[in-house]
Every structure is written in C-alpha cells, then in structure tokens.
Amino acid sequence: MLHGSLNFLPVTTVFSVIILASIYFLYAKANNELAPQEDQGIIITSATAAPDATLQQRLLYSSEVYKKFITHPENDHVFQLDMPGQSIAGMVLKPWAERALTADKLQPIVQEELNQISGVRVAAFQPPPLPGSNGLPVQFVIGSTGSFEELNTVAGQFMQAAQKSGMFMFMDNDLKYDQPQAQLEIDRDKAALLGLTMEDVGSSLASMLGGGYVNYFSLSGRSYKVMPQVQQGFRLNTEQLKDYYLRSGNGDMIPLSTIAHITTKVVPQSLNHFQQLNAATVSGVPFPGVTLGDAVASLQQLAKTMLPPGYTVDYAGQSRQLVKESSSFAATFGFALIIIYLALAAQFESFKDPLIILVSVPMSIAGALIFIALGIGNATLNIYTEVGLVTLMGLISKHGILIVEFANNKQQEGLSKRAAIESAASIRLRPILMTTAAMVLGVLPLIFASGAGAVSRFNMGLVIATGIAIGTLFTLFVVPAVYLLFGHEFNSAKTE
C-alpha cells in the first residue's frame, strides 16, 4: 500500500494539506471548558432575598428550600447557613450506587423547583471541578469609567439579552439599585424652639436604636452585658421612629415627628470595582450540556453587539481561569513543538529531518480532535485533553524518528531515497504498531473508568488513544511521502 501511495505523491500531499486544514475547523467546533464537571455528590444553593428582608423572613425561605431538598430520594442530608444578605444551603447526595440520578441530571430539576419559591432568588450549582475559584460558574464583568447609574442600565439590559439566549438556567447581577434607604431630616428651627440640640436628638436615638454596650450585670454568678435598645416590636419599620419620644428643654416629652420627617430613596446594595473601574458582574449557571466555554463565548459575542463604546469586559471565578488557560495553551503547545524540534535537530544534525518527523504531530492532533468535535462521550477541550494533546506530541514523534533514522541509514548503505524509505517503513512497521498498541491498551482503563474522577480520566484517555491510533495510520503514509519530497539525498548516484 505504501509503494502504491508513493507513486501518487500529489494525492498524498493534497490529503495531508486537507488534514492540516481540518485541525482549525475541528478545534473551532469542539466545545471548550475549564474542566469537565465531576459528580461530587453535592448540590449547593445560594439564595438572595429582598435587601430589607429580616432574619425571620429569610428563615422562612430557608425552610422552603429545605422542604424542596428532602423530597428527593437522592438526598442524604442537608446543611444550611444564614448570614446577613445571603443564605447558603447544600444537598449532600447519597453514594453513587444508592441513587439513580447524577448531580448533573438532578441540578436542573432542583433549580426548577427552587424557582417556584416566591420572594427569593435561588441559584443551584455544583462546586467547581478545580480549586481556586468560587461563586457561580459564569462571572462576566462589565467595566466602565462612567457613572454607576449608566452601568446599571447597561448591565440590566445585557443580562436580559443573555437570559433570552436559552443557555442559562439562572442569572444575576451584583449591581442592584433596590436597597431602600430612609433618611431622618430634622427641622433645626423647630428643635431649637423646643430647646433641643442635634446632640440631644442623636444621643437619644442612639440609646434607643444603637444597642451599644454600657455595663455588666450579674445573674446567678455570671456576668452579662447591658445593651439598651427599644423592643423589637417598636423598631420593625422606619415609620415607628416618629413615635419615639424625646425630652425637650423644659422637660416635656415630645414625639420625634414634631421636629422631623422621614424621606426614602433607593440606593445600590454595593458599588463594586474591578481593575480600578466601576464594575458590574453578571453571574450565571449554564444549563447541563452547555459548556462553560460556550456560555462565555455567547456573552462575549453579545457584548460586541450590545455594549456602548467605552465599556470593557473582564472575567472572574471559573470564567477567568478558563480564559487564562485557553490563551496559555497555544503558547504551551508552541513551546513544546520548539523543544521537540530543537532536540530532533541536535539528534539528526539537521534542520530538515525534524520537520519531516513533526509532520506526524498534526496528523495525530487531527485524529484526536475528530472525536472531541463530535462530542463522543461529552468530550470537550479542557485542561485534561490539552495535557493529553501535549503528551501525544511526544508519543507520535517517535514513529517519525524510527522511520527517518532508518531511511537515512539505508541511504548511506547505498539504497536510493525511495528504496530507503520503503525499506525503513517496512522494517520499523512492527515496532511502530507495537508501540501504538501498547499505548492504546495502556489508556483503555482511563476510557472505561468509573467512580471519582472518571470524567476527567475519560477525556484524557480518549485523546491519547484516538490520537495515537489515527495518527499512526496517517504517519505510515504521510511521513514517507514528505521524506521523499524533502528528505536529504545521501546517495544521488543511485536511481530508483
């Protein structure tokens, strides 16, 4: 078969060019993510209630979340934590052998149930597959030097458009103008007529509302702090402030409403900055089957069409890790190629032979990317498959080394270039096939793995097995053809 293919070098050359060109399209079509989501046996929820919700109200919401959790047979136990402004809960799942649904399948079901709880927004997500990040998987930061009011409008419109994409089961924005703020405005003239100073008013309100420590008292041999404050029933809303009484200059008790009135307005809960810019972070949880790379790419495309001039985008959490790792992979791959090329150049004392050998590398890369682009077993481009691709470079280069080295030796023995490459490929066929078979069989346990970390091992094993198997098939025909076209002619007197 090799002898016949070498009779039609243009056909083999065109075939090689097609394979090389296909790498770009296969890479572009492949789903991209930081790391595949592993079933870690837990689903975490983060609930955000109204900014003025009391602890009692948030406890009611937490109770509803708990009721949703315990209805699932996959649930083993539940933990909950309520803190100012946020409530966190987790449903710890039973061992894999004792449940029918995985965490990936259970997550959208739980999210749909939590969406039915009125008065609170709850996001269900899984812990990140890699350490170093926190929060929701997608964190898209919109920055601007403009005012926060303009940024709030732009971020709100952007989030609405992102929700319509159908890629996210939950989205939120950390820039929220929904915090009610009450301001007590005192009529200083009336206060002065009644013999009250601002210090009198301030100290009276502080003693009734401040809850500051003033003393200790002893009870049953133990000391307790004294913190004066009006009873909770008299400080449930701002209107009750008007009924607080102050002592005037002549000793009479007057209500606060005599000298003051209350105005309310809406302010942001927090004003965040990112990279020294006014920023709003749009966070989201993609639907199962939507990779982190696809979700971030959709937001990037949306930002190009929606964001006004002067607005920038950045990333946080897992999204930032993904963007940084994706950009560094090309550099890592390039450095690996350079190192291999220099090592081969030193070994062969030639700058041409290493190029012939490295032709086998893109052949194997294309073989691996075919299965990733097709999504076999939900395979994606991630940190594990990228490690597999770099590993594949060293493995597949050995095939070209065996063929080229023997071909050079055969030429020095007196054979023509074509006879030398055919003889070398024939002699080294068995070692090449043995190396390929040993490597493929060696990574089969990764492909058929189960249990903890099985998804990550599958991705790496699939890349190495398919890449070296298909790459070997291409190498056996393409490397001899390239050698025949560009290889050194050690014995030009010989004819073919």
pLDDT for residue 494 is more than 70: no
* 354 and 481 housed in the same domain: yes
Are residues 117 and 186 located together in one domain of the fold?
no
Any domain includes 15: yes
Provide the percentage of residues in the chain whose pLDDT is more than 90: 17
- Which residue range is the domain that position 95 belongs to? 41-126
Last residue of a domain, one of 267, 285, 305: 267
Residue 339 lies in a domain: no
What CATH number did the domain enclosing 231 receive?
3.30.2090.10
- Are 374 and 472 members of one domain? yes
> What's residue 68's pLDDT?
92
Q: Does residue 94 share a domain with residue 26?
A: no
**Greater model confidence, 487 or 288:** 288
pLDDT of residue 377 exceeding 90, the answer is no
Residue 408 lies in a domain: yes
Residue 162, C-beta contacts closer than 8 angstroms, at least 6 positions apart: 168, 171, 282, 284, 298, 299, 302
Please report the pLDDT score of residue 406 as a whole number: 84
Q: Are residues 25 and 47 in the same domain?
A: no
Based on the fold, state whether residues 193 and 100 are members of the same structural domain.
no
CATH of the domain at 24: 1.20.1640.10
Q: Is residue 295 part of a domain?
A: no
Q: Are residues 119 and 25 in the same domain?
A: no
Average confidence score pLDDT of the chain = 86
User: Looking at the chain, how many residues does it have?
Assistant: 496
pLDDT of residue 465: 92
Of the pLDDT bands very low, low, confident and very high (cuts 50, 70, 90), residue 492 is low
- 139 is a domain residue: no
Would 220 be classed as within a structural domain?
yes
Q: Over 70: is that where the pLDDT of 252 sits?
A: yes
Predicted pLDDT at 381: 86
Side chain identity, residue 91: M
Which pLDDT score is estimated for 395?
A: 85
Q: State whether 60 and 7 are in the same domain.
A: no
What are the two backbone dihedrals, phi and then psi, of residue 122, each rounded to the nearest 5 degrees? -120, 130
Cα 97 from chain centre: 28
Residue 313 confidence (pLDDT): 92
Q: 267, 300, 315: which is the final residue of a domain?
A: 267
Q: What is the mean pLDDT of residues 314-319?
A: 89
Give the model confidence (pLDDT) of 167-196 as tens digits.
Answer: 898 898 888 888 888 898 998 888 888 888
Band of pLDDT at residue 495, cut at 50, 70 and 90: very low
- Whether the pLDDT of residue 392 is over 50: the answer is yes
pLDDT band of 298, cuts 50, 70, 90: very high
Same domain flag for 195 and 113: no
Round to whole Å and give the CA distance between 408 and 487. Answer: 9
Burial class (CB in 10 A: 0-12, 13-18, 19+), 413: exposed
Which residue matches tokens 């089969």?
Answer: 444
Q: Indicate if the pLDDT at residue 496 is higher than 80.
A: no
pLDDT tens digits for 89-139?
999 999 988 888 888 889 999 999 999 988 888 989 888 888 777 788 899
**328, pLDDT greater than 80:** no
Q: Are residues 8 and 106 in the same domain?
A: no
Domain total for the chain?
3
Average pLDDT over residues 9-35: 86
Has residue 492 been placed in a domain? no
Look at strands 42-49 and 86-93 and give their pairing: antiparallel
CATH of the domain at 97: 3.30.70.1430
357 and 462 together in one domain = yes
* 153 falls within a domain: no
Model pLDDT, residue 491? 62
Asked if the model's pLDDT at residue 57 lies above 50, the reply is yes
Tokens matching residue 466: 């398919």
18 and 119 share one domain:
no
pLDDT digits (tens, 9 = 90+) for 414-465: 888 888 888 888 888 898 899 889 999 998 998 888 777 788 889 889 999 9
The whole-angstrom separation of Cα 230 and Cα 238 is 13
3-state secondary structure of 78: strand
Last residue of a domain, one of 198, 232, 267: 267
- pLDDT of 493 > 60? The answer is no
**Least confident range of 175-189, 289-303, 475-489:** 475-489
Span 311-324, mean pLDDT?
A: 88
Q: Which tokens belong to 65?
A: 């979340």
